[in-house]
Structure 1
Amino acid sequence: MTSPDRLVILDRDGVINQDSDSYVKCLAEWVPYPTAIQAIARLSGAGWMVAVATNQSGIARGYYDEATLDAMHAELNRRVGEAGGRIDYIAWCPHGPDGGCDCRKPLPGLLNEIRLALGMKTLAGSWMVGDSLRDLQAGEAVGAHSVLVRTGKGERTLAENPELADQASATRIFDDLSGFVTWLLDQQYP
């Protein structure tokens, strides 16, 4: 059984790839951050499991379909694989904000899907990396450590929630995914 303290869960848009207020609707619009793919490869190369939990309400809104999303995720997996890494699981929510589902972040449904898929009893002690408050809230609901990156909507999230930068906050803040991964791997986890 995999230990949750060796799992990093990533939001997708704004953490791994550039985000867009008009949605990432096709493979041509899916543009990874230059250092994100390498960061994922470094994590998995160091023995960490990596999962992705992503809200994809563009499906419910009719902006793209599941086949298009599958193509984006296949490209993500291909690039990470070429860099020498792997993504262990990708969970996504196709519902809109009024969909009435239990998987759309900030609800923890996607994270629980990851937990079950990876055969874990708990996600307490894992890491949830996101660029929005709802990412952090989903992670907190399952006992994950919270990490906010400044990429994507991260700067806006920080401006709207200045308490996240407070010394008393449990949320760690990094410029990007690569900065977090460098810090995490430097912590000399067993």
Structure 2
Amino acid sequence: MLPKLVILDRDGVINYDSPDYIKSPEEWIPIESSLQAIRLLNEHGILVGVASNQRGVGRGLYDEATLALITEKMYQACADVGAHIDAWRYCPALERTHPDHKPNPGMLLSIMDEFNISPQDDSVYFVGDKLSDVEAAINAQCLPIMVETGYGKESSAEAIAQYLDLPIYTNLLAFVEALLKDD
């Protein structure tokens, strides 16, 4: 049975990441196969949420108005391929103790709450490229998925060492195709 909701990290999953942060719409470059993956999820009636730490805002590297422009570019890139994102959450906090800062589950729980979805009743996946994404999924009782785009290749060895049965895919599209094939 297909899940009702798949939540995605943004940087490194939907778009190419940068160690210097994505600070402007010009720096936000989509991973084309990820946009196709989002479209496939939409076509199968699966809600798509995005949960992203945005520490660059907290560090003063860019402001919330710029983040809104970057987000609008993400929405438009999705629309250009016939896809859409149903929910967007971000956390600008620098403190790892903030309830929304991944690996804490706040953003994921907020998205599930918006759609009245409980991970106890429904399968909810969280797809990320960092160990903190895997931990956020576990903390929110979601099924963690790691992709090798972004920091995934570097993070996967550490994640596998801690979570032996962690599913790892080359990219978001590979995960979505496997998910839909199993239905």
Q: Does TM-score exceed 0.5, indicating one fold? A: yes
SS in 1 for 2:126: strand
Number of equivalent positions: 181
Q: How does 1:1-190 map to 2 (within 5 A)?
A: 5-96=3-94, 98=95, 100-120=97-117, 122-124=118-120, 125-163=123-161, 166=164, 169=165, 171-188=166-183
Shift of 1:8: 0.4
Q: Secondary structure at the match of 2:32?
A: coil
Change (3 A) 1:151 1:165: farther
Q: Is the 8 A contact 1:129 1:146 kept in 2?
A: yes
Taking the aligned partners of 2:181 and 2:157, their CA distance within structure 1 comes to 28
Report the alpha carbon displacement of residue 165 of structure 1 after superposing the two structures with TM: 7.6
Whole-angstrom distance in 2 between the partners of 1:156 and 1:72: 26
Instruction: Give the percent of matched residue pairs that are identical in Structure 1 and Structure 2.
Output: 37
What amino acid is aligned across from residue 182 of structure 2 in structure 1?
Q
- CA RMSD between the two structures: 1.8
1:100-151, Cα deviation, whole Å (9 max, x unpaired): 421000000111111222232x134200100001111111112211100001
Following superposition, the deviation at residue 69 of structure 1 comes to 0.9
Residues 38-69 of structure 1, C-alpha deviation per residue, up to 9 Å, x if partnerless?
11011111111000000000001000011111
Q: Which structure 1 segments of 5+ residues have no match? A: none
Compute the displacement of 1:84 (Å). 1.5
Unaligned residue ranges in structure 2 (runs of 5+): none
| 1:128–1:146 CA contact under 8 A, matched in 2 | yes
Instruction: Report the 3-state secondary structure (helix = DSSP H, G, I; strand = E; otherwise coil) of the residue aligned with 2:58.
Output: coil
Between the aligned partners of 1:146 and 1:13, the Cα distance in structure 2 is 16
